Structure 1
Amino acid sequence: MPKLWRYNLHYFDYLQEPQRSVENKSHLVSDWIEHNPQGTVDAWEPYTASLRIVNWVKFFLSLSAASLKNNTGDAGGTKGEFHAGLKPDWLTSLYTQALWLEQNIEYHILANHYLKNGVALFFAGAYFQGVDADRWLKKGVQILREELDEQFLADGGHYERSPMYHSICVTDYLDVLNLARHSQGVLSPEDQATFAQRMTTSLTFLNNVCLPDNEIALFNDSAFGIAPAPKQIFDYAEKVIGYEPPVRPSSVAIHSHAASGYFVCRNGDDAIIIDCGSIGPDYQPGHAHCDTLSFELAIDGRRVIVDSGVHDYEPSQERAYARSTKAHNTLAVDGEEQSEIWGVFRVARRAKPLDARIEQRPDGSVWFTGAHDGYRRLRGRPIHTRSIAYDGKETWNIEDRLEGNGAHRMESYLHIHPDYHVVKNGACFHITEANGKSIAMIEAVEATEVRMERGSYFPEFGRQYENDVMVFICSGTIPLTLSYRIRKRPTQSC
Structure 2
Amino acid sequence: MQWGPDRWTFYRLAGREAARTARSAMARVTAGPSTLSRLRPTGLVIAPQDLRTSDATIAADIYGGLFVFAGRALATGGRSPFDFAPPSPEWGEALYGFGWLRHLRAADSALARSNARAFVQDFMAGRGDRELANRPPVVARRLISLLSQSPLLLEGADHAFYQGFLRTLGRCVRHLDLALRRGILPGDRLSAAVALCFAGLCCEGFEPVLRRGTRLLTRELARQMLPDGGHRSRNPTFIKDLLLDLLPLRQSFLTRDIAPPEALLNAVDRMVPLLRLLRHGDASLGHHNGTGATEADQLATLLVYGGASGTPLMHAPYTGYTRLEGGATLVVADVGPAPGPAYSAAAGAGCLSFELSSGAQRLVVNCGMPATGEDMRRLARTTAAHSTASLDDTSSCRFLDPRGPGFAHPLASWLRRRLGPAVVRGPARVTAERSTEPDGAAVVAARHDGYAPTLGLLHERRLCLSPDGGCLDGADGFVRPSSAGPAVPAAIRFHLHPTVRAAREGRAVLLSAGNGELWLFEADATDPVIEESVYFAAFNGARRTEQIVLHLAAEAGTRATWRFRRLSA
Q: Same fold (TM over 0.5)?
A: yes
Aligned pairs for 1:150-161 (under 5 A) are 150-161=223-234
Aligned pairs for 1:329-478 (under 5 A) are 329-343=387-401, 345-379=421-455, 381-393=456-468, 394-404=470-480, 405-406=484-485, 407-433=487-513, 439-447=518-526, 449-460=527-538, 463-475=541-553, 477-478=555-556
Q: Which residue of 2 aligns with 1:74?
A: none
Q: Which residue of 1 aligns with 2:207?
A: 134
Q: Which amino acid aligns with 1:137?
A: L
Shift of residue 313, structure 1, vs aligned partner: 5.3
Aligned pairs for 1:238-249 (under 5 A) are 243-247=307-311
CA distance in 2, matches of 1:353, 1:388: 19
Give unpaired runs (5+ residues) of structure 2: 1-86, 402-419
Aligned pairs for 1:142-221 (under 5 A) are 142-185=215-258, 188-189=259-260, 191=261, 193-221=262-290
Shift of residue 62, structure 1, vs aligned partner: 6.2
Q: For the structure 1 residues 33 and 84, does the alpha-carbon distance in structure 2 shift closer, same or farther, using more than 3 Å as the test?
A: closer
CA distance in 1, matches of 2:145, 2:444: 43
* 1:311-350 per-position Cα deviation (integer Å, ceiling 9, x unaligned): 145431x122100111000111122211112336222221
Q: Is the contact between residue 264 and residue 272 of structure 1 (CA under 8 Å) also seen in structure 2?
A: yes
Shift of residue 462, structure 1, vs aligned partner: 7.1
Q: Which residue of 2 aligns with 1:296?
A: 355
Select between 283-292 and 476-485 the one with higher mean Cα deviation: 476-485
Shift of residue 168, structure 1, vs aligned partner: 0.9
Q: For the structure 1 residues 107 and 283, does the alpha-carbon distance in structure 2 shift closer, same or farther, using more than 3 Å as the test?
A: farther
Q: Which residue of 2 aligns with 1:31?
A: 122
Q: Which residue of 2 aligns with 1:104?
A: 179
* 1:435-471 per-position Cα deviation (integer Å, ceiling 9, x unaligned): 9x65211001232x43322111111477100110111
Q: Which residue of 2 aligns with 1:76?
A: none
Q: Which amino acid aligns with 2:541?
A: R
Q: Which residue of 2 aligns with 1:90?
A: 165
Q: Which residue of 2 aligns with 1:274?
A: 333
| Aligned residues with identical type, % of pairs | 21
Determine helix, strand or coil for the equivalent of 1:446. coil
Q: Is the contact between residue 33 and residue 93 of structure 1 (CA under 8 Å) also seen in structure 2?
A: yes
CA distance in 2, matches of 1:268, 1:108: 49
CA distance in 2, matches of 1:227, 1:141: 31
Determine helix, strand or coil for the equivalent of 1:485. strand
Q: For the structure 1 residues 387 and 453, does the alpha-carbon distance in structure 2 shift closer, same or farther, using more than 3 Å as the test?
A: same
* 1:239-268 per-position Cα deviation (integer Å, ceiling 9, x unaligned): xxxx144157xxxxx811111111001234
Q: For the structure 1 residues 434 and 304, does the alpha-carbon distance in structure 2 shift closer, same or farther, using more than 3 Å as the test?
A: closer
Determine helix, strand or coil for the equivalent of 2:140. helix
Shift of residue 226, structure 1, vs aligned partner: 6.9
CA distance in 2, matches of 1:327, 1:63: 44
Q: For the structure 1 residues 422 and 364, does the alpha-carbon distance in structure 2 shift closer, same or farther, using more than 3 Å as the test?
A: same
Shift of residue 32, structure 1, vs aligned partner: 1.8
Q: Which amino acid aligns with 1:25?
A: A
Does residue 328 of structure 2 align to residue 259 of structure 1?
no
CA distance in 2, matches of 1:152, 1:371: 24
CA distance in 2, matches of 1:284, 1:247: 29
Q: For the structure 1 residues 159 and 84, does the alpha-carbon distance in structure 2 shift closer, same or farther, using more than 3 Å as the test?
A: farther
Q: Is the contact between residue 353 and residue 370 of structure 1 (CA under 8 Å) also seen in structure 2?
A: no
Aligned pairs for 1:227-242 (under 5 A) are 229-237=298-306
Q: Which amino acid aligns with 1:472?
A: L
Shift of residue 52, structure 1, vs aligned partner: 0.4
Select between 47-56 and 119-128 the one with higher mean Cα deviation: 119-128
Select between 114-123 and 133-142 the one with higher mean Cα deviation: 133-142
Q: Which amino acid aligns with 1:55?
A: S
Does residue 142 of structure 2 align to residue 52 of structure 1?
yes
Q: Which amino acid aligns with 1:19?
A: A
Q: Which amino acid aligns with 2:523?
A: A
Q: Is the contact between residue 60 and residue 86 of structure 1 (CA under 8 Å) also seen in structure 2?
A: no
Does residue 378 of structure 2 align to residue 320 of structure 1?
yes
RMSD, aligned α-carbons: 2.6
Q: For the structure 1 residues 391 and 434, does the alpha-carbon distance in structure 2 shift closer, same or farther, using more than 3 Å as the test?
A: closer
CA distance in 2, matches of 1:139, 1:107: 16
Q: Is the contact between residue 168 and residue 228 of structure 1 (CA under 8 Å) also seen in structure 2?
A: no
Q: Report how many aligned residue pairs link the two structures.
A: 455
CA distance in 1, matches of 2:439, 2:113: 59
CA distance in 2, matches of 1:101, 1:285: 22
Larger RCO of the pair (alpha carbons < 8 Å, separation 6+):
2
Shift of residue 119, structure 1, vs aligned partner: 1.3
Q: Which residue of 2 aligns with 1:77?
A: none
Q: Which amino acid aligns with 1:291?
A: G
Determine helix, strand or coil for the equivalent of 1:103. helix
Q: For the structure 1 residues 60 and 476, does the alpha-carbon distance in structure 2 shift closer, same or farther, using more than 3 Å as the test?
A: closer
Does residue 90 of structure 2 align to residue 4 of structure 1?
yes
Give unpaired runs (5+ residues) of structure 1: 68-82, 238-242, 249-253
Q: Which amino acid aligns with 2:377?
A: R
CA distance in 2, matches of 1:90, 1:292: 47
Select between 99-108 and 413-422 the one with higher mean Cα deviation: 99-108
Q: Which residue of 2 aligns with 1:125?
A: 200
CA distance in 1, matches of 2:96, 2:303: 27
Q: For the structure 1 residues 160 and 477, does the alpha-carbon distance in structure 2 shift closer, same or farther, using more than 3 Å as the test?
A: closer
Q: Is the contact between residue 203 and residue 245 of structure 1 (CA under 8 Å) also seen in structure 2?
A: no
TM-score (norm 1): 0.85
Shift of residue 216, structure 1, vs aligned partner: 0.9
